[in-house]
Structure 1
Amino acid sequence: MKLAGLKSIENAHDESVWAAAWVPATESRPALLLTGSLDETVKLWMPDELVLQQNNTGHCLGVVAVAAHPSGIIAASASLDSFVRVFDVDTNATIATLEAPPSEVWQMQFDPKGSILAVAGGSSASIKLWDTATWKLIDTLAIPRPESSKPTDRGGNKKFVLSVAWSPDGRRLACGSMDGTISIFDVNRAKFLHHLEGHYMPVRSLVYSPVDPRVLFSASDDGHVHMYDAEGKSLIGAMSGHASWVLSVDVSPDGAAIATGSSDKTVRLWDLNMRAAVQTMSNHADQVWGVAFRPPGGAGVRAGRLASVSDDKSISLYDYS
């Protein structure tokens, strides 16, 4: 497996680019790359050439997260202005505006069926679940304190929730916190199941394997990438190699590799059989906030693609094979 650089765009945004996600292909268009920046805009790019398709405004502070509905028809962006804006991908028409208290909107992800949007609730120490048919808040999953923590740990924002991921069957939701713990929920029963431990610094990114709904990958400021059996509560593997914080992780559609982005300014490709980094890409001049593999599907799409975004305002696109 390998990555080959296809295209990089300098100054893709006017400020740091903190978020990237792929909008799935529809019958009328290919998959698009969605990026969000501290310049308050969300941009949509045509793949391969990274041609700007749309420049969306509507937030009044930096955009910290973007997510695409599995249908490819709608997407969402979350900003430091405490709003989540849900919009039509092709027309940019606003479908819903979800309001949250300050510092309570971080990462978000639609469930595999597209019926729920899960939002990592930052300082509220919870995950908010929004019904995508009515855009009403349907549940708030509160994160309990780990049994191993001392009562004195109660203070501060240790349980600040940074990241969220759905299992491929939609039955489980994982979220990563500032204190390094990962919480697993049974969504149907709105029930907390258990914590996964092993990290000791913020868990900024999570992703489930597309081929095994038990396997969860995590990226942390402690410099490590972990692979968990999220049902059995066990750490299967720990991978290290980045020289600094690991800010983002995504898994390839075939489930054979993961990519990570780090504040050491590199993107790494990891072979999951070897549990080792097989390639390091140094396209960026500053920390890499997001990596995202393109989902399979769409007319004429054969090759895999990976995108990365950075504080250096650039976007890079790679061929994955």
Structure 2
Amino acid sequence: MDTSSHSFGGRMSGREDETSLNLTETVTSTNMASEVDRRLHDVGVAALAAVAQFPRPVNNQSDSFIVSEVVNAVTSAGPFEPRSMNSGVSSGRRGPHQQAGTGTAGPEFVFGSNLGGGDVDVEAILQNFIQRTEARQNAFATDSGYDDSQKDMIMDYESATMEDTASPTHTSDNELEDFLQFYPDEEEYYYKRKQRPAPDAEMTDYDLDDFYNSINYEELEMDLPQTLGVSMADAFENHFADPLELPGPHPASIIHTSTYERNLTIDEFIQRWMVSIHPLPQGFHTESRIPPQLRPLSKMISWQPPQETARPHNWRRDFYDLQQIPWTETLRVTRSDARAVRDAWYTSYHNLDYSQVGHAKRLPAHETFFRESSMHTSHKASIEHFQLRNLMSTPAHNTVHYASRSKIFSWTPSTGDARCLIDMSQADPESGFLDPVKISTMKTAHGLTIAGGFCGEYAVCSSNGTGPSFKGLVTPDFNDGITNHVDIIPNRTGPSPTGVFASNDKHLRILDTETNIFTSDQELSQPINCTATSPDSRLRVVIGDSPDAWIIESDTGRPVHPLRGHRDFGFACAWSPDMRHIATSNQDKTVIIWDARTWRPLETIDSDVAGYRSLRFSPVGGGPRTLLCTEPADRISIVDAQLYRSRQVHDFFGEIGGADYSPDGGEIWVANTDAHFGGFMRYERRQWGRRVGLTDLPSEWATEEELEGDSRCVLGKRERELRFMRGLSDVEHESLIL
């Protein structure tokens, strides 16, 4: 904020405290000629001090304070009593029940001039100016129709203490309120522009009123990646000095408003790596051939992966590379070197600035829950938003549903057949679709498939594609109506499942899939990026553009308890089938396991490269309890969900569009979306019926006797006894039969 003041024996500019200090030093350094000078000095200091408390008198063109109005108010005629600078400042405060007054500002005052007799009551004049200023503010607020109740996180729920508890970021400055109405995430920018310190948010551990307040967090002051929007050829031409130089993090200001942000594809990564290893000779130029040192690069770019790769039955080692990228044969580098360079170059997205020192621990990766089985490259999912990665579901062990551009496909791996379930590629004005829909999230469960789009569109159909289907709009907000997450849960009061839509306009909406009617609309203070409903459908965990997750009532949206421990925005959560544990994942690269009985954290687990974008607990009847954690690229981790002390890691190359268990827990499917080396990767279960602990506790969600009558278990007793045979080779299977 540039502060412009009228001359007080000379021109002064800068912040109020600096101006007051300079004024005090200037006047103190010279002997005051008379008592009048001392009085006028106090008046000037009081006037300048009053400016900091009233930011409304602002020149809209220059964003500078019109100090003359304050000075004129202070120097109006009236009885004068000499006051110190501190008393002048304190006199500017106004009680909450005082009435606004009126007054007339006097002529502009220049320090050293004669007031024409009569003393000035600084306190009365400042009070008069405060009242007039707030009167104008109140009138503006009344005319604009702004209501403080609009700050509530949920519009249809009135908190008993809402009137007595102020927002952590509450201020009486109507300009700030008006600004945040249109730019809710830019409060720090407002304070920086005005050169005022932002207030610290003080939050108690269990104050439920926090749930209703819009809390603004500091954003990173980072530049865009140097390679963003620049072709690889131009980037190499500009000579990357360090081949391991990391692109800068992405700023928070374009979250949810742009989808072009992404990390390097595998082709781009190989190009950059090879050119940095084999720099071109100075002045090299040719029109007919490529440089000899870059010929392996051209072979790699033109290499076509096989349509299907399967782990050989006689493969004895633990790791098998499903992608079969010819690192050594073509590029003369090892896969481990490529893995290290890729990890060093990968940019982990984050929104908030926080200390990198944490208490999370990285679990040892010595488990062998699953092993690589096969990869299929004929079909690929696509990512439309760089942060939303729930674009694949596995409704059966032989069926995969995935999003590709504006369509949802159902693919059968055993036959290779793929058919379109939902087609949103054409404009449909009757349904509210003005253009082809970019699918941002999807889910298949309980016999239904639901897709959500970027402008609030949605489509519902049966999983087999034979039942009725319908389309519509979740929200008419085309600017900020992107569907961040979709969940499908059983209906406690009816036969049809329920759809839970989390939109970026800060609303949770509940859809009755039988009538295609939204039965509930719950407004929150921040966009929600993921939801998980408890198995009994009574509670729901929500996580979004805030470090805090919340437990709310699923029917009413009432807040139950905060889950505090993360340091950045959250994008994934899951509720265990036995209802005892909740897992939340965050861009601070941690997963926190919460005890759902006490709402306390049990374990904080660190990721490898980036924060997990998807969390899935293994299904009931699927063998030892595990938690599938999916990074945005290159890795999945399978954590032991019994003790949370160990895990298994599978690494590959490519951005991940989603990962999911099959309903019987026997497989994990991963959607690798890389255009060249991507496809669908299948991992098969190796361990069944393992028991853990000193007392030989079962590691399954339920005992064998309970599984027999549990509707969540899709396998019968005989199938569970024989399911280990899936991983046997033909020779091993025949030997077993004999």
Please report the TM-score for the alignment, with normalisation by the length of structure 1: 0.72
1:166-223, CA deviations, whole angstroms, 9 ceiling, x for partnerless residues? 123443211001122111122222111222233413x22122211x123222221222
Aligned 8 A contact 2:614 2:630 in 1? yes
Match of 2:628 in 1: 307
Match of 1:160 in 2: 482
Q: In angstroms, what is the RMSD of aligned CA positions? A: 2.6
Aligned 8 A contact 2:421 2:461 in 1? no
SS for the counterpart of 1:258 is strand
1:111-146, CA deviations, whole angstroms, 9 ceiling, x for partnerless residues? 32x2x21112232x132102333367711243246x
Cα displacement (A) at 1:94: 1.3
Relative contact order: is structure 1 or structure 2 higher (C-alpha 8 Å, sep ≥ 6)?
1
Cα displacement (A) at 1:241: 1.4
Q: Does 1:104 align with 2:438?
A: yes
Q: What is the correspondence of 1:112-191 to structure 2 with a 5 Å cutoff? A: 112=446, 114=447, 116-123=448-455, 125-134=456-465, 138-144=469-475, 157-169=479-491, 170-191=496-517
Match of 2:402 in 1: 77
Q: What is the correspondence of 1:1-321 to structure 2 with a 5 Å cutoff? A: 48-59=369-380, 61-62=382-383, 64=389, 65-69=391-395, 71-79=396-404, 81-96=405-420, 98-101=422-425, 102=436, 104-112=438-446, 114=447, 116-123=448-455, 125-134=456-465, 138-144=469-475, 157-169=479-491, 170-201=496-527, 203-210=528-535, 212-298=536-622, 301=623, 303-321=624-642
Instruction: Please give the alpha-carbon distance, in whole angstroms, between the structure 2 residues aligned to 1:91 and 1:107.
Output: 26
- Counterpart AA for 1:187: T
Aligned 8 A contact 2:529 2:545 in 1? yes
Change in CA separation of 1:108 and 1:311 when aligned onto 2, cut-off 3 Å: closer
- Counterpart AA for 1:317: I
- Counterpart AA for 2:631: S
Aligned 8 A contact 1:157 1:178 in 2? no
Cα displacement (A) at 1:48: 1.2
SS for the counterpart of 1:314 is strand
Aligned 8 A contact 1:194 1:233 in 2? no
Instruction: Please give the alpha-carbon distance, in whole angstroms, between the structure 2 residues aligned to 1:204 and 1:157.
Output: 17
SS for the counterpart of 2:524 is coil
- Counterpart AA for 1:274: T
Cα displacement (A) at 1:232: 2.5
Aligned 8 A contact 2:458 2:471 in 1? yes
Instruction: Please give the alpha-carbon distance, in whole angstroms, between the structure 2 residues aligned to 1:272 and 1:96.
Output: 39
Cα displacement (A) at 1:68: 1.6
Match of 1:29 in 2: none
Instruction: Please give the alpha-carbon distance, in whole angstroms, between the structure 2 residues aligned to 1:49 and 1:140.
Output: 38
- Among the aligned pairs, what percent are the same residue? 17
Instruction: Please give the alpha-carbon distance, in whole angstroms, between the structure 1 residues aligned to 2:587 and 2:625.
Output: 25
Match of 1:18 in 2: none
Aligned 8 A contact 2:422 2:459 in 1? no
Cα displacement (A) at 1:77: 1.1
Aligned 8 A contact 2:612 2:630 in 1? yes
SS for the counterpart of 1:273 is coil
1:35-70, CA deviations, whole angstroms, 9 ceiling, x for partnerless residues? xxxxxxxxxxxx81342433344237448411121x
Please report the TM-score for the alignment, with normalisation by the length of structure 2: 0.33
- Counterpart AA for 1:77: Y
SS for the counterpart of 2:551 is strand
Aligned 8 A contact 2:533 2:554 in 1? no
Instruction: Please give the alpha-carbon distance, in whole angstroms, between the structure 2 residues aligned to 1:294 and 1:218.
Output: 20
Cα displacement (A) at 1:14: 5.3
Instruction: Please give the alpha-carbon distance, in whole angstroms, between the structure 1 residues aligned to 2:601 and 2:413.
Output: 35
Cα displacement (A) at 1:163: 0.7
SS for the counterpart of 1:157 is coil
